[in-house]
Amino acid sequence: MRVDVAFTPAGLAGAEVAGRTVFVVDVLRASTTIAVALANGSRGIIPVSSIDEAMKLVQTLERREVLLAGERNATRISGFDLGNSPLEMTESTVRGKTLIMTTTNGTRALLATTGAATVYLAAGVNLSVAGARAREALEQHRDLLVICAGREGSFGLDDAYAAGRLLALALGGRRLRKGLNDAALVSLDLARRYGVGWLRPLMASCAGRDLVSLGFRDDIALAADEDSCPVLPQFADRRITLAPVTVTAAAQ
C-alpha cells in the first residue's frame, strides 16, 4: 500500500493518480469554502479552470439556479456573484444553488485527479470526516494520494500541514514508513511540529499572510475552526457534491 503526498499538482503523472483514493487540499480557501457551501445546502459546485469557461457554462444553465463564484489574486472576479470566501457561503445565499467556481490553485488541483478511483476534498473544517474516510480506504487496502493545491505551482505550508493532519488520522498509530513518499513523511512531521491548532500554521503561511493583508483575516479564523463543518465533498463527473454515506460511515 502507498500513502503519498504531492505538494503541488505540477508534475503529477497519471500513473501516480490512477486508481487511487485521492484527497484534494486547498485550505486557504477553496476546499474550506466548498465544504461550507455544501453544508449550507448548495446542490453542487462545478469547478472550471477559466473565467471564460465559467461564463460559457452559466449560459447553458437556468441562471437563477446558478451562482458564479471565484477569485483571481484572492479577489472576487468582476461580474461574479461571489468570491472565494467561506463567509459568503451562507445558507440564504447558496441553498438549492449550483455554484460554478474558478479559483487560482484549487481548480488546478482538482483537474489533476483524472483517473483517480475516488476524489474527496479535505480541509480543517471537515478534518475528522475526511480522516475517517482516508482510514477506511487504507483498511480496504487502497492507495492514498493527497494533492495539495499549493500556491501558484509552489509549496504551501497551509496545505502541507493539512495533509499531515489528514494522514495522521488515516494512519492512526500504524507505521507504514516504507509506503510513504518524502512529502508524506514531511507532512506528518509538520503536523507533529505545529500540533493540533490550525491558526499558527495558517498564519505562518504565505497564503495566510496575504489573506490578512487583503482583509480576509476572518476567513482564516473560519478555516482554522476544526470540524466545524463535518461534511465530505466528493468530486465526480466534473461536479462536487456531498459524498454518499457509506454503510461503514452510517454504522458509526
Provide the binding-site residues for a copy of itself, judged by CB under 8 A.
Answer: 5-8, 10-13, 151-158, 160, 178, 181-183, 185-186, 189-190, 193, 204-207, 209
Contact in structure between 163 and 171 (CB atoms under 8 Å): no
Residue 28 or 129 having the CB closest to a copy of itself: 28
Question: In the chain, count of helices (H) and strands (E)?
Answer: 12, 10
Residue 125 or 163 having the CB closest to a copy of itself: 163
Q: How far is the CB of 207 from a copy of itself (least distance, A)?
A: 8
Residue 155 or 234 having the CB closest to a copy of itself: 155
Q: How far is the CB of 205 from a copy of itself (least distance, A)?
A: 5
Beta strands of 92-238 (E only): which ranges? 98-102, 118-122, 144-148, 233-236
Q: How far is the CB of 247 from a copy of itself (least distance, A)?
A: 35
Give SS3 for 176: coil
Smallest Cα–Cα separation from 152: which of 7, 5, 52, 14? Answer: 7
Q: How far is the CB of 141 from a copy of itself (least distance, A)?
A: 21
Name the strand (E) or helix (H) holding 47: strand 44-47
Contact in structure between 223 and 207 (CB atoms under 8 Å): no
Residue 98 or 104 having the CB closest to a copy of itself: 104
